[in-house]
Structure 1
Amino acid sequence: MESLSFEYRGGRPLPSAPPVTLVGVVGSGNLEVMVEPADLGGVCRIEVLTAAVGFGPIWQAVMDDVFARHPVADVRISINDVGATPAVVSLRLDQALDAFTGGQP
């Protein structure tokens, strides 16, 4: 297992703290994403626990792309992965962030 951490600044805080959002299921051979409000001083922090060791640069590229589409602040995202493809990771993150923000850009 590999643990990766990413932080992004410059996002927009949400007007009100939404409830924790969970999408996906690790047991399906895929991944799960949990998004929750957190007092992080304007940072979006993403923690990844993955069975696919050695793919840090690919995770970085996917996280950069997702943050460009969903620039949120004071949000913690936890990802538990058992080998999902980058496209599935991106899809699950989009689903989770859309649900978390209520579709706000």
Structure 2
Amino acid sequence: RIYNPGNGHLPIELNDPDDMANTHDELGTFHEGHTSNVIPLDRIIVTDQDMSLKHKLELLTRELDNARDAQAITDFDVLHMENKKQGRDKYNTLRQIRSGNTKRRIDQFENM
């Protein structure tokens, strides 16, 4: 490896601004003068693909529900259980927020 004689720490190839710009583009970050080339992908839930895993998780959930102390349930636990019954999770909520225009997204985010 050839090291930069200027500072003695970084290899020469890492000091090239073009290399760093390409690295940032590949990672999908946004910086001045460049746009991201990352294509957003839909999330696929693993349990939708693997039915045995889904079954095991359902059994474990039932076992844990039986072991839960009813007096230790907080308001956040109740809210989480209600959201879970209605099929809401953080990914669906964020996807729904991103689907509207900017004004609507800001309003929905502030009302969370």
Superposition TM-score, scaled by structure 1 size? 0.20
Please state which structure has a larger fraction of its residues in helix.
2
Please state which structure has a larger fraction of its residues in strand.
1
Greater C-alpha Rg: 2
**Quick one: higher RCO (CA 8 Å, sep 6+), 1 or 2?**
1
